[in-house]
Amino acid sequence: MELFAGGGGLAMGVHRAGFRPLLFNEFNKRACETLLASAGRTLGDDGLSETRETAPVPPGVGEPAPLYPGDVRDLDLRKFEGEVDVLAGGPPCQPFSAGGVAKGDEDKRNMFPAVFNAVREMKPKAVICENVRGILRPSFSGYFEYIRNELRLPFMERDPRKSWQEHNGALMEALGDPDPNQHRLDIDGGLPADDRSTDRYRVIAFPVNAADYGVPQVRNRVVIVAFRADLGLEIVNEFAAHVKRRRYSDDALVRSMRDGSYWERHDVPPHVKERVMARLPKVREDHCLPWRTLRDAIKGYGTDEELPALPEVDLTRLEEKHDFGGKRFPGHVGWPGARIYKGHTPNELDRPAKTVKAGVHGVPGGESVMELDGRFEDLASPDGWRYRHRYMTVRETARVMTFPDEWIGSGPRGEQMRQLGNAVPVVLGEFFARAVADALDAAGQ
């Protein structure tokens, strides 16, 4: 089951990991349109069917999954009890992000309580949540620990007259003396090793950089995963050991540039290669694959599945907002007005893209602006040259988020960029969903 589905990034990742969707929920009208428009192409043949039922029932095998386009707090999910292997979702991140004013629990957009309620009603075997790294700030440390404790004991329901701090105190008392490792994110010390309760969960959290998992973008997030306690402690240990192994690295990217393997797949002007090579730092040896870059994504090497290169964007046609992609590459539309100024440096083609942002950030300045290979003489520049730049297209941004080219965003450009900025990269979601699937398989579930 997918709550806060947005543009569908996490949903696609979970589906690719082998799970059959039972229900999607999303509040934003445009995002719902995107889910419906892209479902058949990106979520399998069964697709989605919109419903207004606040007490939906699980679909049968081969039937489309219902999409509830409304407030998750209105949903009655009790008919899904015992039917759900994985509850997935990224509760709105604005309450914990700098761009969202970071009000945390005070923010009315805080939807973690809705996640707790869904767990109570359905008792899923596992839960996957994603949120911004800001939730780990010292100012939110108490509430983040409360989130983990509430997930551990979801059936100790909070009295609406009590503050979260009061309820957290009751949860900690019920958990007993915490393990000294409890405050390490990747270790669950909240439950005894022999606890096999069906109404308690073992919770672990991982700070992640999406680039370390094969996403052509530096995107720092937190992934929270919970397993029902009756599945045993071993399932948590196996899952943690699997996801902590780093697979891609910046060091490996630098080595691939030095040994020439990176440049073998990219035909660039000599001055571009010389400029990049002159900046390379010293690196350590590791056994990782190279970080994927923005150039990789645009040229079709941004995921394990090789894609065709996106068509070139003619800078002379930006003002007319020309569509360079057609039906094959939807959203590959040039956009005028890109600027670079202090504090807003552009994306570099031979690095992973900067974090795709949404919300109050929009797409101004250096955010979603890319520096190109073309240059012109500028005596005011330190080396006598200035490189051209432009806005990234929606399709290029979708590639950076590892969405398939079949994904079609609904609404104007700004709305599509917002959906992408709020999404979970598909490759990142798939990695964690596969790790959960493998752990459930190993536990005979």
Question: Taking the CB of residue 336, how many other CB atoms lie within 10 A of it?
Answer: 12
- Whole-number Å distance between alpha carbons of 14 and 274: 41
Distances (CA, A) of 324 to 257, 318, 319, 400, 420: 30, 10, 13, 18, 20
Structure token digits, residue 117: 């309620």
Torsion of the alpha carbons at 162, 163, 167 and 169, rounded to the nearest 10: -120
**Pairing label, strands 65-68, 24-25:** parallel
User: Which residue in the list 32, 93, 129, 288 is annotated as catalytic?
Assistant: 93
- Nearest C-alpha neighbor of 3 from the set 445, 296, 424, 435: 424
Q: Is 76 exposed, middle or buried (0-12, 13-18, 19+ CB in 10 A)?
A: exposed
Would you tell me how many other CB atoms lie within 10 Å of the CB of residue 105? 17
- Distance between CA 213 and CA 284 in Å, rounded? 18
**Number of Cβ within a 10 Å radius of residue 128:** 24
Q: How far apart are CA 247 and CA 36, in angstroms?
A: 33
Closest alpha carbon to 128 in 90, 92, 91, 88: 88
Is 129 considered catalytic here?
no
**CB of 13 closer than 8 Å to CB of 430:** yes
Scan for tokens 């690095």, then name that residue: 351
Would you say 371 and 295 are in contact if contact means Cβ atoms under 8 Å apart? no
With H, G, I as helix, E, B as strand and everything else as coil, classify residue 391.
strand
Positions marked catalytic: 93
